[in-house]
Structure 1
Amino acid sequence: MKTYKRLLTYAGSLSGFLIPYFFVTVLVSVFSLANFGLAIPLLDMLFTSEESFKVNGVLLELKNFDGSIEFLKDYFYQEFGLLMNENGKLYALMMICLVTVGASLLTNIMRYVEKMIAENFRVNTISHLRTSVFKKVLTLDIGYLTDKKKSDIIARSTTDMTETENSLASVITFIKDPVALIIFFVSLIMLSYQMTLFVFLILPISGGMIALISKSLRKKTHSLQEKNGELLGVLDESIVGMRVVKGFNAEPYVNKAFKKHNDDYVNTFFKVVRRIELASPTSEVLGVFFIGVLLYYGGVLVLGEDPTLSASQFLAYLGIFTQVLNPVKSLTGNISRIQRGVAATERIFELIDTKPEIVNKADAKELKSFEKNIELEDVRFSYGDKEVIHGINFSIEKGQTVALVGGSGGGKSTIADFIPRFYDVQKGAVKIDGLNIKDYTLSSLRSHMGVVTQESILFNDTVYSNIAFGMDSITEEDVIKAAKIANAHDFIMALEDGYQTVIGDRGSRLSGGQRQRLSIARAVVSNPDILILDEATSALDTESEKLVQDAIQHLMKGRTSLVIAHRLSTIMEADKIVVINKGKIVEEGTHKELIAKEGGEYRKLQELQGYDR
C-alpha cells in the first residue's frame, strides 16, 4: 500500500475529503438499515395478530434508551400500537409505508452525495498527478527523451493514468465498505448473535479464495502495461511515417509488426482477464451458498423447539445480510482492480522519479547579458562507452558567424547541442564570457539563444501562436514584424484566416519552406543574442531555400551565430568555418583559406557539391 499512500499525497486535504465522506457514508448505511428494520413491524402487522402491538400501561420513552435492539423494537411497536388504537390498523400500515419511503429517499440522496464527494476526490487527485507527470516530462533531458520510446512515455501518461484513476475508485471503497460492514454487522449481532457468529465462521473462506486468485495479478498487469506501450509505439511510428510506408509498399511488413505486438498484448490481456473475471463468479457462487446455509440455519432458530428468532426478524436479518454481501463482494472484487492500479501507478511514479541529469547548480548565476564570446575547451562526449566527440576546441566571438561542416554523423549537431545545454559535456568545458555555462541557470542561459533546426517544430495552433510561442509579452505588431523579416508575411496573409489560421498537426497544412520560415519568425521575435541554425535549409527545394536563406541572413544580422551547414554554398561568408570529421576538428579557417588547401577536407566537400574554383 506504499504506492497508494504516495498517490494520496496528490489529493490535497485528506481531512477535507475523509470527514464529510465518512459522515455521509454512515448516514447511507443507517438509512439503508432503517429500510430493513421497518420490515419487521410491517410483516408483523400483516401476518401476525395485533397482540404484538398491544400498548402496556407504562409507556416507553426514547430518553430511557438502553442501546438494545429490544428497546427500539418495543418502542416502535408501542408507537404503532397507539396509532392503531387511535386511527385503525390501515392508518398505522400507511404510516409505516410512508416512513419506509422516506428512509429510502434519504438513503438515495445520501448515496448521491457520497458518490459526488468520491468523484470529486478521485478526479482532483488524478488531475494533480497528471499535471505532475507533464511537468516532469518538461524537465527531462533531451537525451532521456531520445533514448526512451515516446510511446512508453505516452502510455504512462494516458493508459496507466486511466488504470490508476479506475483503481482509485476501488481504494475509496475501502473507506466506505468497512463502515457499512460495521454498522450492518452490529445490527445483525443485535438481531441474532448465533447466526452472526455462524456468518463470521464462513465468510473468511470467500476472502481466502479471492486472495489466491489475485496473488499473481500484479505482475501480469505490469507486463500488460508494457505491452500496451509497445503497441502504441508501432501505431505512432506507422502514422508518422505513413508516406514511407506507402512509398515502399511496406503495408504488409508494418501490418505484420503490428499484428505481432497486438497478439502479444491480447495474450497477456487474457491472462490478466482470466484472473480478474474469476473473482466475481467465485464470490457470487459462494454468496448463494452462504445464503442457502443461512436459510437452513435460520429456519432451525425460527422453527426449533425453543425458537430464538421470530419469522419477521429472520426475514429482516436476511435482508440486512444481503446488504452485507454487497460490500464484501465489492472489497474482494476490488482487490484485482487495486493490484492492476498498483502496477500502473508504479510505472507513473517511475517516470515522476526520473532525475534529470541537466539541472541548475545550487549556486548558479543569472546570465544577464552576452558580452564577449563562446568557447569550447577540450570538449569530449560519449554515448555509453563510445567516445564520439574528441577534444573539440574553438571559439565564437560576439557578432561572429561560425559554421560547422562535415559528413553526416560527424558530431556537428551534438556540438551545437552543448551550447544551450541540451547535452552536458563529459570532459572539458563550454564557456560564455569566460564562465562555464554550468554556472549559469538554464533559463537565463537559454533566454539568450534561438534555435532553428532542420525539422520545423510547429504546433497544431494558429500561425500567430506558433510565432509568439512561449512569449506572453509579445504584441501583434512584433509578430508581424518578425514574419516580414522571415519572408513569411505574404504567404501568411494569403492563408484563409491570415495569422489566425490553424496550421494543422506539426504544421501539416503548410509547405516545408513555409514551416521553416515560421520557425525563423519565431526565432526573430524572441530576439536572441546567440543563434543556432542546424541545417535549416537542407530539406528544402531551391526556391524555398532562397527565401529561407534570405530570411536567415536577416535573422543573423548583428547576432552571434553557430551554423551547421549541409549545403556549403550557404556558409561561404561565415567568419570562421570549422570542419568536423568523426568527432574531431580537422580544419579551421575562412572559406578562402580552406578552399585553397590542396587535398583538404573542406575542399573535397566543396568539390563533391560541384564547387567551381
Structure 2
Amino acid sequence: MIQEWLNLVLNVVVMLLAIALMTLAVRLHSNSAFAGAALYSLLSFGENLAGIVLFWTSLETSLGAIARIKMFNDTVKPEDRDGESIIPPEHWPQRGVVELKGVSATYSSEYHEGSTSRLALHNIHLTINSGEKVAICGRTGSGKSSFIALLLKLLDPTSTTAENVVIDGQLLQHLNRSELRQRIIAVPQETVFLPDGSTFQANLDVSEEATCEECEAVLTAVGLWEFVQERGGLDAGMNASTFSAGQRQLMSLGRALIRRSIRQRKHATGAEHGGILLLDEVSSSVDQETERVMQQTIKTEFKNYTVITVAHRLDMIMDFDKVVVMDTGKIVEIGSPAVLAQEAGSKFGDLVRARNQ
C-alpha cells in the first residue's frame, strides 16, 4: 500500500509540473520544439524519481544487513567451550547409561550462582540404566524439552553442577559437542527437510553413508516405501509439502533408523549394539494409527537402546519402564507409569485423568 501511494504521489507531482510547464509555454509563446523536449523529459521524471527512491531503500536495506552481520559477529559467542576436546570411543555410547547428580541449568546469561528464579532445570537427580525406556512428562514449561536440550549440550548446566552429568562413564562437560550429537540419535518435534527438489534418499540419509537397500528397508519399516515408490523411488526429487504431518514424523523416525543401522554396521560385534535415543514429543501432531506405527517401530528397532522421550500422549508410554514427572524445572515424581496412574494423589495420575477429561 505504501509503494502504491508513493507511485500515486510521484505521478501527481509530475502531472502538476506538466500543467505548469504547458501553461508557461503557452503564455510566453516559447519555441514549440523546446517545449516538446521539456515535456518529454518531464514525463520520464516520475519514473526516475521512483527509481531513486527504490535504489535508496535497497541501499538502506543492504547497509542494515551488513550492520546485523557485524553485530552478530561481535555479540554471538561460539558454541564450543574450552575443555570440550574429548572424543569418545567409536562405539560410545554402547550401554546408554545416563547419570544426573544434582544438575541445574539456565538459559539466562544474567544468572548468578545461588539464584533459583532463572533456572530451567533445578537440582535434577536421576539415573537411567542401560536399555531403560523412560518418559519425561509434565505441563507446559515444566522443563521437559530443557532436559533433552541438556543431554545434547544445547543447554549448558550451571558452572557449579557442570561435572554432574555422566553418560556411559564420560563427563558430558568435556565431550566435543559435534561428536556428542553424532553419537546420540535424536528425533525432534518438527521435521526439517532439505530444499525442494532434493531426493528422497538425500532427505532420509543426510550423511550419505547408507546403502539403497538400507534406505528401502527403513522406509518399509516405517510404512513409507509404497508412498516413495509412487513418486519415482529413492532418486526422485521430493517436495516437503506432499507429506502429511504423520508422514513427516515417520520420515524423521526413518532418519533415526538409518543412523542406528549405520552404527550397527560400523561397530558390529556379533551382539546387538546399544545406544541412546531421544524423542521430543514426536507424536504430538500425528493420528493414532501413525502413533501406533511409531510406537511399534521404536519398540522393535530400538529394543537395546536407552530411550528417553518427552511424552505428549500419555497412553503411548504406559508400558515404559519409568516415568519422570517434572514441574517448574524440578523432578516431582518418579515411578512406573502403570502404577502411578492408579495411585490417588500422584502427579502422573493427575495428568492422566486431566488428559482423559
Q: TM-score, normalised by structure 1?
A: 0.42
Q: Which of 72, 94, 101 is the matching residue for 1:377? A: 101
1:521 paired to 2:254: yes
Q: Which residue of 1 aligns with 2:292?
A: 546
Distance 1:479 1:588, change over 3 A: same
Q: CA deviation at 1:512?
A: 1.2
For the 8 Å contact 2:106–2:121, the answer to whether it is kept is yes
Q: Which of 183, 193, 211 is the matching residue for 1:458? A: 193
Q: Which residue of 2 aligns with 1:589?
A: 335
1:393 is paired with a residue of what secondary structure? strand
1:554 is paired with a residue of what secondary structure? helix
1:352 paired to 2:76: no
Distance 1:475 1:605, change over 3 A: same
Q: CA deviation at 1:553?
A: 2.4
For the 8 Å contact 2:120–2:146, the answer to whether it is kept is no
1:487 is paired with a residue of what secondary structure? coil
Measure, in 2, the Cα distance between the counterparts of 1:466 and 1:342.
Answer: 36
Q: Which of 205, 219, 242 is the matching residue for 1:468? A: 205
Equivalences for residues 490-529 of structure 1 within 5 A: 490-493=226-229, 495-504=230-239, 507-527=240-260, 529=275
2:277 is paired with a residue of what secondary structure? strand
For the 8 Å contact 2:99–2:167, the answer to whether it is kept is yes
1:561 paired to 2:296: no
Distance 1:593 1:358, change over 3 A: farther
Equivalences for residues 388-537 of structure 1 within 5 A: 388-427=120-159, 428=161, 429-459=164-194, 460=196, 461-469=198-206, 471-493=207-229, 495-504=230-239, 507-527=240-260, 529-537=275-283
Q: Which residue of 1 aligns with 2:85?
A: 364
Supply the AA of the counterpart residue of 2:314. Answer: L
Distance 1:513 1:531, change over 3 A: same
Q: Residues 63-112 of structure 1, C-alpha deviation per residue, up to 9 Å, x if partnerless? A: xxxxxxxxxxxxxxxxxxxxxxxxxxxxxxxxxxxxxxxxxxxxxxxxxx
Measure, in 1, the Cα distance between the counterparts of 2:65 and 2:347.
Answer: 53
Q: TM-score, normalised by structure 2?
A: 0.70
Measure, in 2, the Cα distance between the counterparts of 1:412 and 1:365.
Answer: 27
Supply the AA of the counterpart residue of 1:585. Answer: I
Equivalences for residues 65-144 of structure 1 within 5 A: none
For the 8 Å contact 2:324–2:331, the answer to whether it is kept is yes
Measure, in 2, the Cα distance between the counterparts of 1:371 and 1:545.
Answer: 27
1:500 is paired with a residue of what secondary structure? coil
1:387 paired to 2:119: yes
Measure, in 1, the Cα distance between the counterparts of 2:253 and 2:158.
Answer: 31
Measure, in 2, the Cα distance between the counterparts of 1:555 and 1:409.
Answer: 31
Q: Residues 480-514 of structure 1, C-alpha deviation per residue, up to 9 Å, x if partnerless? A: 12222223223222x3212234332xx21111111
Q: CA deviation at 1:432?
A: 1.1
Q: Residues 350-379 of structure 1, C-alpha deviation per residue, up to 9 Å, x if partnerless? A: 333454453153462112212441112222
Measure, in 2, the Cα distance between the counterparts of 1:553 and 1:395.
Answer: 21
Q: Which has the higher helix share?
A: 1
Measure, in 2, the Cα distance between the counterparts of 1:430 and 1:454.
Answer: 24
> What is the total number of aligned residue pairs between the two structures?
279
Distance 1:597 1:396, change over 3 A: same
Measure, in 2, the Cα distance between the counterparts of 1:547 and 1:342.
Answer: 51
Q: CA deviation at 1:342?
A: 6.4
Q: Which residue of 2 aligns with 1:88?
A: none
Q: Which residue of 2 aligns with 1:148?
A: none
Q: Which residue of 1 aligns with 2:31?
A: none
1:577 is paired with a residue of what secondary structure? strand
Measure, in 2, the Cα distance between the counterparts of 1:361 and 1:400.
Answer: 32
For the 8 Å contact 1:531–1:559, the answer to whether it is kept is yes
Q: Which stretch shifts more, 587-596 or 574-583?
A: 587-596
2:187 is paired with a residue of what secondary structure? strand
Provide structure 2 residue ranges, at least 5 long, that are not aligned to the other structure.
Answer: 7-57, 112-117, 264-274
Measure, in 2, the Cα distance between the counterparts of 1:364 and 1:587.
Answer: 36
For the 8 Å contact 1:392–1:584, the answer to whether it is kept is yes
Measure, in 2, the Cα distance between the counterparts of 1:383 and 1:443.
Answer: 20
2:193 is paired with a residue of what secondary structure? coil
Q: CA deviation at 1:400?
A: 1.2
Q: CA deviation at 1:606?
A: 1.5
Q: CA RMSD in A?
A: 2.9
Measure, in 2, the Cα distance between the counterparts of 1:357 and 1:497.
Answer: 42
1:610 paired to 2:356: yes
Supply the AA of the counterpart residue of 2:103. Answer: V
Measure, in 2, the Cα distance between the counterparts of 1:350 and 1:338.
Answer: 18
2:356 is paired with a residue of what secondary structure? coil
Q: CA deviation at 1:597?
A: 2.4
2:308 is paired with a residue of what secondary structure? strand
Measure, in 1, the Cα distance between the counterparts of 2:322 and 2:78.
Answer: 32
2:320 is paired with a residue of what secondary structure? coil
